[in-house]
Chain A
Amino acid sequence: MLLECLNYLQSNGADIAVRVLEHMKISLTALLAAVLIGVAGGYAASVSNKGEKWIMNLFQVLRVIPSLAILVLLIPVMGVGMKPAVTALAILAIPPVLTNTCVGFLEVPPFMLESAKGIGMKEWELLVHVRFPLALPMILTGIRSALVEVIASATLAAKIGAGGLGEIIFTGLGLNRTDLLLIGGFLVGVLSLAGVGIFSMICRILMPYKYRRRL
Chain B
Amino acid sequence: MIAVKYEQVSKQFHKNVKPSVDGVSAQIGEGEFVTILGSSGCGKTTLLKMTNRLLDPSEGRIILFGEDISTVDPVTVRRRMGYVIQQIGLLPHMTVEENITVMPKLMKQDIVQVRMRARELLSMTELDPDTYAGRYPSELSGGQQQRVGLARALMPDPKILLLDEPFGAVDAITRINLQNELLRIHRETQKTFLLVTHDINEAMKLGQRVMIMNEGKLLQFDTPRNIIRHPADPFVEALMRSASEQHSFWKEVLDD
B91 touches A112 (CB 8 A): yes
Task: Report the Cα distance A183→B75, complex, angstroms.
Answer: 61
B139 close to A114 (CB less than 8 A)? no
Q: Is the CB of A116 within 8 A of B106?
A: no
Contact A212 B138 (CB under 8 A): yes
Which residues of A, 107-144, contact B by the 8 Å Cβ criterion?
109, 111-112, 114-122, 125, 129-130, 133-134, 136
Are A130 and B139 in contact (CB-based, < 8 A)? no
Contact A209–B93 (Cβ < 8 Å): yes
Do A214 and B91 touch across chains, with their CB atoms under 8 A apart?
A: no
Q: Are B138 and A118 in contact (CB under 8 A)?
A: no
In the complex the two chains form, is B89's CB within 8 Å of A215's CB?
Answer: no
Known A-B contacts A130-B91, A209-B92; the reply to A117 vs B85 at CB < 8 A is no
Number of interface residues of A (CB under 8 A): 24
Q: Which residue among A112, A120, A136, A214 has the maximum number of chain B CB atoms within 10 Å of its CB? A: A120
Give the residues in chain A near B221, CB-CB below 8 Å: none
- B54, B79, B83, B94: residue with the most chain A Cβ atoms closer than 10 Å: B83
Of B87, B93, B139, B152, the residue contacting A111 (CB under 8 A) is B87
Within 8 A of A (CB), among B104-149: 106, 136, 138-141, 149
The reply to whether A115 and B138 form a contact with Cβ atoms under 8 Å apart is no
Q: What string of 1s and 0s marks CB contacts (under 8 Å) between B84-106 and chain A?
A: 11011101111000000011001
A122 vs B149: C-alpha distance when bound (angstroms): 19
Q: Which residue of chain A has the shortest Cβ distance to B140 in the bound complex?
A: A215
Q: Which B residues between 54 and 91 are near A, CB-CB below 8 angstroms?
A: 54, 75-76, 78-79, 82-85, 87-89, 91
Residues in B with CB closer than 8 Å to A111 are: 85, 87, 89
Check: B153 CB closer than 8 A to any chain A CB.
Answer: yes
A116 surroundings in chain B (CB, below 8 A)? 89, 91
Q: How far is the CB of A56 from chain B (nearest CB, A)?
A: 26
Q: Is the CB of A118 within 8 A of B85?
A: yes
| A120 and B79 within 8 A (CB) | yes
If A118-B83, A207-B93 touch, whether A215 touches B54 (CB-CB below 8 Å) is: no
Known A-B contacts A114-B54, A117-B78, A121-B106; the reply to A209 vs B138 at CB < 8 A is yes
A213 contacts chain B at the CB level, 8 A cutoff: yes
Separation of A130 and B136 alpha carbons in the complex (Å): 15
Q: Which residues of B contact A129 (CB under 8 A)?
A: 91, 102, 106
Q: Which residues of B contact A209 (CB under 8 A)?
A: 92-94, 136, 138
Residues of B contacting A133 in the complex (Cβ-Cβ under 8 angstroms): 91, 93
B residues less than 8 Å from A115 (CB atoms): 83-85, 87-89, 149
Shortest distance in angstroms between B153's beta carbon and chain A's nearest beta carbon?
A: 7
Q: A114-B54, A120-B103 are in contact. Are A212 and B136 (CB under 8 A)?
A: yes
Of the A-B pairs whose beta carbons lie under 8 Å apart in the complex, a sample of 29, sorted by A's number, is: A111-B89, A112-B91, A115-B84, A115-B87, A116-B91, A117-B54, A117-B78, A118-B52, A118-B85, A118-B89, A118-B162, A119-B82, A119-B83, A119-B152, A120-B76, A120-B78, A120-B79, A129-B91, A134-B91, A209-B93, A209-B94, A209-B136, A212-B136, A212-B138, A212-B139, A213-B139, A214-B139, A215-B138, A215-B141
